[in-house]
Amino acid sequence: MRKTKASTAVLETLRGSSHALTHRELQELLQDTCDRVTIYRVLGRLTGEGLVHKVSDLDGSVRYASCHTCESHGHAHNHDHLHFTCTTCGQTRCLESVEVAFELPDGFTLKETNLSVSGVCDRCA
């Protein structure tokens, strides 16, 4: 994957954000840095590379967040943390510290996870 104006801008924006961003939010933040379509393609590549992960909310809206803790582990990516969407401020944050425990029934094998919950966050409490 090449280092381009668009890809670095997207990655920097995601890294600079405390919460997960939608495509729309990214587009607004990036203004005229690059095209709408390019953002989609960059996000696709970044998630493929494991630098970013995709979160689908309870309502079905899709957001992206940079992998803070993940990168340090090299290729053993672990996105099994919880995503919290605050119903007051609307922000979706990665709660990387929260361990989620579950056991799949016999015959099932695990590949990826997307664990989202909603409620009121600490800042809005």
Partner DNA sequence: TTGACAAATGCAACATTGTTGCGTTACTTT
Partner DNA sequence: AAAGTAACGCAACAATGTTGCATTTGTCAA
Q: Which residues bind a copy of itself (CB under 8 A)?
A: 54, 56-62, 82, 84, 87, 95, 97-123, 125
Tell me which of 28, 40, 88, 124 binds DNA, using CB under 7 A. Answer: 40
- Report the nearest approach of a copy of itself to the CB of residue 20 (Å): 13
Residue 35: count other Cβ atoms within 10 Å of its Cβ: 12
**Residue that has been written with the tokens 């630098």 in this structure:** 51
Give me the long-range contacts of 79-82 (CB less than 8 A, separation at least 24). Answer: 79/53, 79/112, 79/113, 79/114, 80/113, 80/115, 81/115, 82/115, 82/116, 82/117
Segment near DNA (CB under 7 A); pick from 41-49, 65-73, 105-113, 116-124 = 41-49
**Partner that binds at residue 17, options a copy of itself, DNA, none, CB closer than 5 to 8 Å by kind:** none
**Partner that binds at residue 3, options a copy of itself, DNA, none, CB closer than 5 to 8 Å by kind:** DNA
CA distance 10 to 4: 10
Q: Which residues bind DNA (CB under 7 A)?
A: 1-7, 22-24, 33-38, 40-42, 44-45, 60-62
